Amino acid sequence: MVIAIDGPAGAGKSTISRLVADRYGWAYLDTGAMYRTVALLAREQGIAPSDGPELGLLAANVEIGFKPGPGGAPRIFAGCREVTREIRSQEVSAEVSEVSAHRLVREAMVARQRAIAEAGDVVMDGRDIGTVVCPGAEVKIFLTASNRERARRRRLELEEKGIIVGQAEMEKKIVARDEYDSGREVAPLKAAADAVVIDTTSMTIPQVVDKVEEEINRMVDAR
């Protein structure tokens, strides 16, 4: 079974996906981490975020691996090197949207994501899982939240790492990234026509997990 969880930055996708995967004993795939790994390596190798052909080559050749980490958060590897922390840097966050918009980059990542989906039960989070990667996913969820709330969550995440960003600045960054992700030509961020949309603005994490589980159980019962 494939559970597709799409939505904009800060909507709670990774937290919810991880908890749902844990509850059912399924795998969890953070597809954003894959695009972030490409963006990180591109930065280090001096490849511009606008250079589609070079980025495509990099994406086709990079070996991206996942291992379970503390508290269930997956550790991410590029070959043997762990990149879990570095892919979350503000520099990578600022460039990853442009990197991920190139057709060749997406083709390389989508092929891997589909292979993982075919290998077994998985909860996948991203922007285009229900629309492009796995349009046949049994359950499709689109998580959203207000700009203010999403920026607040991202700010708190960064604060835990000792990075202080103002609310207005974070809101601006998050809206800019959404606009880029929604406006791109290839596989833009959007809810699949058959996705269940959940606005998490004033919901607690357990409430959202319960709602997703309701959808999964409904699907299982209907089989």
Q: Which residues bind ligand DC (CB under 6 A)?
A: 9, 31-32, 35-36, 96-97, 100, 126-129, 177, 181
3-state SS, residue 113: helix
In this structure, what are the phi and psi dihedrals at residue 191, rounded to the nearest 5 degrees? -75, 135
Q: Contact at 8 Å (CB) between 47 and 192?
A: no
Shortest distance, CB of residue 41 to ligand DC, whole angstroms?
14
Helix residue ranges per DSSP H, 6-89: 13-24, 31-45, 52-61
Q: Kindly state the smallest distance separating residue 126's Cβ from ligand DC, in Å.
A: 2
In the complex with ligand DC, the residue whose CB is nearer, 31 or 200, is 31
Output the smallest distance, CB 16 to ligand DC, in A. 12
3-state helix, strand, coil in the chain (%, to 5): 55, 15, 30
CB of 35 to ligand DC, least distance (A): 4
Residue closer to ligand DC (CB basis): 159 or 214: 159
Cβ closest to ligand DC, residue 85 vs residue 218 = 85
* Residues forming a β-bridge with 124: 4, 29
- Residue 161 or 218 with smaller CB distance to ligand DC: 161
Contacts 24+ apart (CB under 8 A), 87-93: 87/33, 87/36, 87/37, 87/39, 87/40, 88/36, 88/161, 89/40, 90/158, 90/163, 91/43, 92/36, 92/39, 92/40, 92/43, 93/36, 93/173, 93/177
Smallest distance, ligand DC to C-beta of residue 163, A: 16
- 3-state SS record for 54-78: HHHHHHHHCCEEEECCHHHCCEEEE
Q: How far is the CB of 23 from ligand DC (least distance, A)?
A: 21
Is the CB of 119 or the CB of 222 nearer to ligand DC? 119
| Residue among 72 and 217 whose Cβ is closer to ligand DC | 72
